[in-house]
Structure 1
Amino acid sequence: MGQELRVHQVSKHKKSEPGFLLFSWPSMQLHEDASRWIARLARTNSQRHQRNMAYAIAYWHTYCLTAGIDYRRACADDLSDFGDALAEAVSEKTGRPLSAGTISKRMEAVIAYYIAGEDHGWYLTALDFAHALATNSKSDTAFQTTHAQPINDSVRHLIPRYERSETDIRPLSPEALVSLLEHLGPSEEESGKCGHFQRDRIVAEWMAYVGLRLSEIVGDEDNQGLSVHQFSTLNFDPNHLFDHSIVRVLGKGAKYRNVAVPNWLILRTKNYIATERASAVAHIKHPTSKLIVAHRTAGNSTRGKPITGRWYEHLFAKACLEAKLIAIEEIHAANSNQKRRVEMARHSPHDLRHTYAVMTYFAERELGNLEPWKPIQAQLGHRYLRTTIETYLSYVSVMNEWGRDLRRMSVRELAGVPLA
């Protein structure tokens, strides 16, 4: 077996079909235990979860190969050392150290992998470990001194603990939100004057004013995203722009929920469908039903096709930099131990969802609602109210000036919708 394990996606596949295999590199020998486990995950988990687990196990096996560890006899001490190695690792994608959350998820994946391995007979059981420790034969000396505990539920204390803090929540201030939206695209009232596209701004408004996740708008491998069909039969009153209508969206865990959407945003979205989007898909014989597509000015191979969440993240970061919403960070240069200072976007698209939650909290409090968390929970699609409160309470408790800014700048001004 080689010194590295790599993940190979077989093809586009249905949720119930295995699509990720693990091979040693460069021999390209299939790793049967790991691939079989990923295949079992396909029965009940999303493709994204399968992919994340596949990469976590690939990292683990690569670590074992490099350290000369027989993965079938790996123990808690080895898992602990793996966690230490991850804490010193740098992400190839960002050049920054791995977060505690990433480290924890990878270690949790390894534990689940070994629990399954014990059930299917390729990993030593706790009784095997106990027997080896009780044996006095010289052949087991190394095993006794280094393999004191199997990898199972009992070693979860080795996983680094991480808790959300107010630093994890980065909602935009009212002024920053207005600036970002202007750099993403013109308001509907200005679009005809300058000829610029509204699409990127509309996506941001669905996150900032409705609280949707990016995947719930543009879609991904587990989610259709918003569809044009949802708006073709949607009835709303254009004369009452600040009333709300109900739109049904597909959220995390393949669960649907109803969300309240301001009528002005529905009107803006329908106008996008009738003009900008219609022009983009005009040449396609069987156009996609997804709402968000590439502009008419895109290349022939992408024009009118659905855009990806990753591509929108790129456009969003560019708008942040243009709006001077930046942070200076030190990152590791590629293939080097040296660091360099770079300007990074201070916000991600998900921060707009946080912005919605915080903005709604202060608006509900201003209206006298003593339980503002409940409507926020329903709109965001959190299963438990506790999740909503724990995510945002520490932030809103110390950011009362955010509420004052919101009262000073009305939602109409934030959205750029005329008062008349």
Structure 2
Amino acid sequence: MDTEVVVHRIGSNSPLCRTSKFALFRWPEMTLMEQPSSYLAHLGRRSPSIATSRNSAYALSYWFNFCRAADIDWQHSSIDDLYDYKTALETTVSQKTGARRSAGTSYQYVGAVVEFYDFAAGRCWYAGDIRKSEAPQRAIRADHDKLAHTKSGALPTRKRSPIAQKRNRSGTMIKPLSIGSLQRLLSEMGPDANDAPAGSSVRNRLIADWGWAVGLRISEILSLRADQFSDLVGDPSVPWVHFSIEVLGKGNKLRRVSVPSWLIEHTQIYVRGERQRCVALGRTSEERLFVSTADSKSPGQGITPRRVEAIFGAACLRAGLFVNVRRLDPETGLMCLRQVPAHCVHDLRHTYAVLTYHAEVTQGNSEPWKKIQAQLGHSSLKTTTDIYLEYVNAHNDFRNASIRDLVGLSRR
């Protein structure tokens, strides 16, 4: 049987578990690939993010399997081999999605391999020409905010490895929801906390509200704690007044964001009602605000970003917010049309930024970007304008002064 490189989650008894949750093994004999696994342990020490270790582990497994299929010894591979790998990534479909990989995905896979080889060269495991000496680490790992929102991810003022080079296209990739689309989506996400029938769940709708009305990332929403709302007292007669709430942002940096009083009120309704019932049912001591529902296998436990994305995607499909794409059917091997969500949770953050810009301009604020920058947690004002300026210039037909009014929700 052919040997294949696989990613394996490490058990708590493994010495590697102190620094990494993932390692590479040769299947079916399940022998540890010591050098790549040591690199993953190094990543675990450098970054606490499990997602970083997992993504790097899978990227390396793809590369090692490519080398195996091409009969290449990874310790003697060359830059030409990596070019061939990059071409293979861009010209084949993903087994997971059945669709062609995007340029961004290929960039990340190849970048992960270059990072590993640079580490391997420093440990004298590798003496070939796959290096990033021409491009410092900051160039290989391009600025996340800019890379995440551009078609090319290109940073023309920085040198990058030609292997990791992405296509140089202009234009923005943000996809804010239109007002009509947002209204349909919110309806499918669940009832408003003030209007919810007895016993119904308001959690999913509330998660969406923290995205479009505050501009939080999904990780920031899920890092909120229930005790943050215990002592806040809002005035129902002025639901557009704002409170200041502390959130844990990217890079484990704390920042304060402005939250409308109506959203604080809705969150407190959830905490005192649905959340309290779920935690009691599961007999947990969960601190995080958003927990699994009463009908889940583990009620009262904190929920994951993947689960939220699945809920959001299903709501998009029900709301008619989807696109038809050609995907490979793994059973028949034939290409077929499938409906996939046209938006992801992060698009709610973009929606907040666009709505807030137009609301601030309508109110006479000559510098709306500064407020949006502070709310979104961008370290640079240029990052904010680079992401959104082109879009708002092309879509300037908003007139209302409140983003809640823009969406057509009552002020109660």
- If the length of structure 1 is used for normalisation, what is the TM-score? 0.85
Distance 2:11 2:228 in 1: 30
Residue 179 of structure 2 corresponds to which residue in structure 1? 174
What's the offset of the Cα at 1:16? 6.3
1:47 paired with 2:50, answer yes
- What amino acid is the match of 2:109? R
- What amino acid is the match of 1:396? V
Query: Which residue of 353, 356, 374 maps to 1:378?
Result: 374
Residue 359 of structure 1 corresponds to which residue in structure 2? 355
Matches within 5 A, 1:14-93: 17-45=19-47, 46-93=49-96
SS in 2 for 1:396: helix
Deviates more, 1:18-27 or 1:159-168: 159-168
Larger radius of gyration: 1
Unaligned residue ranges in structure 2 (runs of 5+): 136-160
CA contact (8 A) 1:79 1:151 kept: no
Residue 164 of structure 2 corresponds to which residue in structure 1? 159
Matches within 5 A, 1:117-136: 117-124=120-127
Distance 1:2 1:75 in 2: 24
What's the offset of the Cα at 1:337? 4.2
Residue 191 of structure 2 corresponds to which residue in structure 1? 186
Deviates more, 1:44-53 or 1:77-86: 44-53
Distance 2:236 2:299 in 1: 31
1:204 paired with 2:208, answer yes
Residue 229 of structure 1 corresponds to which residue in structure 2? 227
Alpha-carbon spacing, 1:293–1:115, altered in 2? closer, same or farther (3 Å): same
Alpha-carbon spacing, 1:266–1:16, altered in 2? closer, same or farther (3 Å): farther
SS in 1 for 2:308: helix
- What amino acid is the match of 1:10? I
- What amino acid is the match of 1:376? I
1:6 paired with 2:2, answer no
Alpha-carbon spacing, 1:96–1:230, altered in 2? closer, same or farther (3 Å): same
What's the offset of the Cα at 1:235? 4.5
How many residues were matched structurally?
Answer: 384
Q: Quote the sequence identity (%).
A: 39
SS in 1 for 2:338: strand
Distance 2:353 2:120 in 1: 42
CA contact (8 A) 2:40 2:56 kept: yes
Residue 393 of structure 1 corresponds to which residue in structure 2? 389
Distance 1:82 1:387 in 2: 32
Residue 285 of structure 1 corresponds to which residue in structure 2? 283
- What amino acid is the match of 1:212? L
Alpha-carbon spacing, 1:336–1:408, altered in 2? closer, same or farther (3 Å): farther
Unaligned residue ranges in structure 1 (runs of 5+): 126-148, 219-224
- What amino acid is the match of 1:92? Q
Residue 155 of structure 2 corresponds to which residue in structure 1? none
Alpha-carbon deviations, 1:327-382, whole Å to 9, x = none? Answer: 11111111554211122221111111110111111112222223222211111112
Distance 2:126 2:330 in 1: 37
Query: Which residue of 241, 247, 250 maps to 1:249?
Result: 247
Distance 1:367 1:32 in 2: 61
Distance 1:165 1:176 in 2: 26
Alpha-carbon deviations, 1:264-298, whole Å to 9, x = none? Answer: 000000011001111112234333111111222x1
What's the offset of the Cα at 1:196? 2.8
1:330 paired with 2:347, answer no
CA contact (8 A) 1:214 1:350 kept: yes
What's the offset of the Cα at 1:317? 1.4
Distance 1:161 1:367 in 2: 40
CA contact (8 A) 1:9 1:21 kept: yes
Superposition RMSD on alpha carbons, in Å? 2.4
Matches within 5 A, 1:270-349: 270-296=268-294, 298-299=295-296, 301-349=297-345
CA contact (8 A) 1:320 1:347 kept: yes
What's the offset of the Cα at 1:231? 1.0
Query: Which residue of 388, 405, 408 maps to 1:412?
Result: 405
Deviates more, 1:407-416 or 1:259-268: 407-416
Q: If each structure's helix is expressed as a fraction of its own residues, which one has the higher value?
A: 1
What's the offset of the Cα at 1:320? 1.2
Query: Which residue of 96, 99, 110 maps to 2:99?
Result: 96
Residue 214 of structure 1 corresponds to which residue in structure 2? 218
Distance 2:389 2:191 in 1: 33
Alpha-carbon spacing, 1:43–1:105, altered in 2? closer, same or farther (3 Å): same
SS in 1 for 2:289: coil
Alpha-carbon spacing, 1:332–1:409, altered in 2? closer, same or farther (3 Å): farther
Distance 1:10 1:163 in 2: 39
Distance 1:150 1:53 in 2: 17
CA contact (8 A) 1:237 1:263 kept: yes
Deviates more, 1:72-81 or 1:310-319: 310-319
SS in 2 for 1:283: helix
What's the offset of the Cα at 1:164? 7.7
Distance 2:305 2:65 in 1: 29
CA contact (8 A) 2:313 2:341 kept: yes
SS in 2 for 1:342: strand
- If the length of structure 2 is used for normalisation, what is the TM-score? 0.87
